[in-house]
Amino acid sequence: MSSVAWLIPALPAASAVVIVALGRKMPVGGAEIGILSLATAFVLSLVLAVEVFGANVAATTSGVGEAFLHTARVELAPIGAGDSIFAGIRIDGLTVMMFLLVTFVSLMVHVYSLGYLHGDERFTWYYAVLSFFSAAMLLLVVSDNLMLLLVGWELVGVSSFLLIGFWWELKANSDAAIKAFLTTKLGDVGLVVGVVALWGQFGTFDIAAITAMVGDGVQAGGAPLDTGMLSFALIAFVLGVVGKSAQFPLHTWLPDAMAGPTPVSALIHAATMVTAGVFLVARLYPLYSAAPAAQATLAVIGAITLLMAGLLALVQEDIKKVLAYSTVSQLGYMVAALAFSYTAGIFHLFTHGFFKALLFLGAGSIIHAAHSNNLRDMGGLAKVMPTTFATFLVGTLALMAVPPLAGFWSKDEILVEAAAAGGYTGSLVLVVGALGGALTVLYMTRVLYLTFAGSFRGEGHPHESPRSMTGPLVALAVPAALIGLVNLPVEAFQPYAFSAWTMFSLEYWQTHPIAFEPAIAAVAVGLALAGFLAGWALYRALPLGDDDPARRLGPVSTVLAEKYYLDRLWTDLVTRTIVRDTAAPAAVTLNDEVIDRAVAGAGRATVATGRRVYDDVDQRGIDGVLHGLATSTWWSGARLRLSQSGNVQLYAGAMLTGVVVLAIVFAVGEVS
Amino acid sequence: MAAVYPLIFAALLFSVGVYGLLSRRHAVLVLMSIELMLAAVTVNLVTFWAIAGDALLTGQVFALFVMAIGAAEIGVGLAIIMLIYRNRASVNIDDADLMKY
């Protein structure tokens, strides 16, 4: 099965091409091709999961063997120094987990969009880009070397740009797309630096080879491992993670990216693209565990992000922006978790992908009914939209980490691992994580009250969304509720659990068991309960606008409303003052005064040389020779033709003279 | 050796022909000069045959050939002269200079 695993990214890629070529002529505008290809990819992923997870479970139960790993590659281009760029696939537990998440959520989004984008004039194009995005994301997770991973990473960025700016007729939307693209690109600089640094240190792009070398404590040429250099590369990677996974301080693009269609937000900005950074850290986890400095960076950035974004979610009036900041906050949990534990980080990634996609699709359903993103225009929707309400509630409870829903298990694991790690970073993540849990409950309680309680404040008569939209909601509610159970922290279950499925090495699995701490769980649940009570007390009366308690905190409210002035930092200081007022004029001056002149000078010199060559070499030299030849031929012809007098007797005389001369010559020759 | 006399005679005859060919302007006289040269050749053929004593009479036979050719040549030559005369009302060969450059 793993030999045809390349089909999983190839199918959506092919479907994107087919949709562009034939989509308009299809009965459903190409959507059926996208859905079919994603459904096939999902089934293939399931089959692959059975094989890979089964192999891993066999290893953990028996205690022998190694984590499943299948790689295959074809050479693309030799790059000297004995190395080449390969197109290679790597199938292991992490890849298959991402396959399951991406193909399932993408399939749900494909189906859901049938209703959400029904009648849109660029319906076919939407499906083509959606499939293209899925292919890019699957390529990113399946690649076995950093170079191909970088390609997938950038393709994901491009398709995200296309989808955020899908309704580009509104300037705000295309601005948001450009902002998202450029902000993540800033982080990608770090990623490229990291890839090059790792190549310089290990002489290869191959992840398995680099991991093996780090495991042996060596680098290229067998020299002992330079941990400082490795930390440098890994912290450069963290910059890429900060950009792609919307971590502090580059998270500002994600809330703006809500300008895209809501199903796109569910797919890209909840379940898949923003998890690419987390995935990257998980993929390179053996490297990170060899570089404590890089791990500490992860923990600090994650902790700052999860608290900061949780606070911001409290003051948003746009339901999608609440979810966006919530996503940033949850991504902070994942990044911080990866500082301590591989399993905790990717388990939260896995569960969050399901319940956050559910929440976004639920928000899309609400927006579809209320014709507004704004919480002011909602209210009382629980009665008219029962399916949406029920599924949204499931997603919210999962996000709030209410036991036994998905979010509880994964978030609890993060706190336990942070506590077990101890030290400054462990304590920081434990405290901030627990507080963040209370914040999560608070802002989600607010959303629930403002959306579903009371009476409808908007215009028109909201009604439940079509089947194609509620169907995916129900289908996502099931994993959102139950998926946490696959990693139950019970010792006897561990060899069969998620931690075993996705392990990258048997030794790591054996030395890092998943634990359950009743005390930490109790504190977390207690804080969540406190958050809920606070939410009930504050938002029961449905405060809006200036009544909102988060807006009555004086300077604190201003700071939150200004999003910690980070947008001002990037937009006003960096973009306007530094780039527009300083760097750009300098660049213009440099361009006009130096580069343009050099280019113009080179141009003039070339023209002058050309003129000289034309005049002297071509006209005088070469033409002169040819003219001379012609003239001399003409001159000699004019002389020679005088002999052609037409006088026959002259000819006869000449002939006779010739004969006489020849006769004399022969006679002399005969005599001598 | 008596053969020298006919040879000297033939050489003189040829020289007269050459002189006539180069100096005369009248086309008919030029043609006659050519006939003198041919006659000189004929004399030579007969003389050398007499010296060699060939049983097959080769020299005599060739002499007859040359006469026949001379007759044919006179036929063609006079016809050309006739045509030139008709076209130009002149048989002066200096006037027949169409072939110059």
Chain A residues with CB within 8 Å of chain B CB: 641, 644-649, 652-653, 656
- Chain A residue closest in CA terms to B99: A646
- Which helix (H) or strand (E) segment holds residue A87: the answer is strand A84-91
With a CB cutoff of 8 Å and minimum separation 6, the contacts of A236 are: A190, A191, A193, A194, A197
Residue B100: list chain A partners with CB under 8 A.
644-647
The one-letter code for the residue type at A291 is A
CB neighbours of residue A389 within 10 Å: 20
Torsion on CA atoms A301, A303, A306, A309, rounded to nearest 10: -60
Inter-chain CB proximity A649 and B97 less than 8 Å: no
Q: Please tell me what DSSP assigns to residue A76.
A: E
Which residue do the tokens 């850290």 mark? A281
- How far apart are the C-alpha atoms of A14 and A258, rounded to whole Å? 28
Report the residue from B18, B23, B100 with minimal CB separation from A646.
Answer: B100
- The residue count of chain A comes to 672
Min Cα distance B8 → chain A (Å) is: 17
Cβ A653–B100 below 8 Å, yes or no?
A: no
Residues of chain B in contact with residue A649, where contact means CB-CB under 8 angstroms, are: 21-23, 30, 93
Report yes or no on whether pTM surpasses 0.80: no
**Averaged pLDDT in 10-residue chunks for chain A of 672 residues:** 80 86 77 86 89 84 80 80 80 88 88 80 85 90 88 89 84 84 86 88 84 82 81 88 84 81 83 86 87 87 87 82 88 88 86 87 84 78 81 86 80 84 83 86 84 76 78 84 79 78 80 78 83 79 66 66 67 71 80 86 93 89 92 92 81 91 92 78
SS3 of A140-207: HHHECEHHHHHHHHHHHHHHHHHHHCCCCCCHHHHHHHHHHHHHHHHHHHHHHHHHHHHHHHHCCCEH
Contacts of A224 (CB under 8 A, 6+ apart): A217, A218
Min CA distance, B7 vs chain A (Å)? 17
pLDDT score of A603: 92
* DSSP letter, residue A80: S
Whether residue B101 and residue A641 make contact (CB cut-off 8 A), yes or no, is: yes
Nearest chain B Cα distance for residue A642, angstroms: 8
Task: Determine how β-strand A70-78 pairs with β-strand A84-91.
Answer: antiparallel
For chain A, how many helices (H) and strands (E)?
29, 2
Nearest to B22 among A641, A646, A652 (CB): A652
Q: Which amino acid is at A495?
A: P
CA angle A61, A63, A67 (to 5 degrees): 90
The H or E element containing residue A85 is: strand A84-91
CB contacts, 8 Å: B96 with chain A: 646, 648
**What is the Cα–Cα distance from A621 to A113, expressed in whole angstroms?**
75
Helix (H, G, I), strand (E, B) or coil at A89: strand
Q: Which single residue is written with the structure tokens 């029961």? A: A540
Residue A605 has what pLDDT? 94
CB pairs under 8 A between A and B: 27
Q: Is A670 exposed, middle or buried (0-12, 13-18, 19+ CB in 10 A)?
A: exposed
Question: Which residue does chain B place closest to A646, by CA atoms?
Answer: B100
Please tell me the predicted confidence (pLDDT) of residue A644: 79
Q: What ipTM was reported for this prediction?
A: 0.80
Contact: B101, A649; criterion CB under 8 Å: no
Residue B42 has pLDDT above 90, yes or no: yes
pLDDT at A577: 72
Cβ neighbours of A641 in B, within 8 Å:
101
Are the beta carbons of A404 and A152 closer than 8 angstroms? Answer: no
What would you measure as the largest C-alpha separation in chain B, in angstroms? 53
Cα–Cα distances (Å) from A221 to A213, A228, A234, B2, in that order, read 10, 17, 20, 116
List the alpha helices (DSSP H) in chain B: 4-23, 27-52, 58-88
Among A645, A652, A656, beta carbon nearest to B100:
A645
Is B21 in contact with A641 (Cβ distance < 8 A)?
A: no
Q: Which of A634, A636, A642, A649 to mutate to test the interface with B (most CBs of B within 10 A)?
A: A649
Q: Which of B18, B97, B101 lies nearest to residue A647, judging by beta carbons? A: B97
Whether A328 contacts A258, CB under 8 Å: no
Q: Tell me what pLDDT residue A606 has.
A: 93
Closest by Cβ to A647, choosing from B21, B23, B94 = B94
A649, closest residue in chain B (CA to CA) = B22
Q: Give residues with Cβ within 8 angstroms of A219, minimum separation 6.
A: A201, A202, A213, A225, A226, A229
Secondary structure, 3-state, A345-379: HHHHHHHHHHHHHHHHHHHHHHHHHHCCCEHHHCC
The tokens describing A184, both together, are: 């993540």
What pLDDT is attached to residue A546?
A: 63
What DSSP state is assigned to residue A617?
I
Contact check, Cβ <8 Å, B100/A648: no
> A656–B22: do the CB atoms touch at under 8 Å?
yes
Distances (CA, A) of B36 to A49, B19, B43: 122, 10, 11
Chain B residue numbers touching A648 (CB-CB < 8 A):
93, 96
Name residues whose C-beta falls within 8 Å of residue A515's C-beta, 6 or more positions apart in sequence: A416, A420, A489
- A interface mutation test: which of B23, B31, B100 has the most A CBs within 10 A? B100
User: Cβ separation of A646 and B97 shorter than 8 Å?
Assistant: yes
Assigned CATH for B4-100: 1.10.287.3510
Residues of chain A with C-beta less than 8 angstroms from the C-beta of B98: 646
The gap from C-alpha A120 to its chain's centroid, in whole angstroms, comes to 26
Do A452 and A381 form a contact (C-beta atoms < 8 A)? yes
Alpha-helix residue ranges (DSSP H) falling in A400-540: 406-421, 423-452, 467-482, 498-501, 506-511, 518-539
Q: Look at residue A309 in the predicted model and tell me its pLDDT.
A: 85
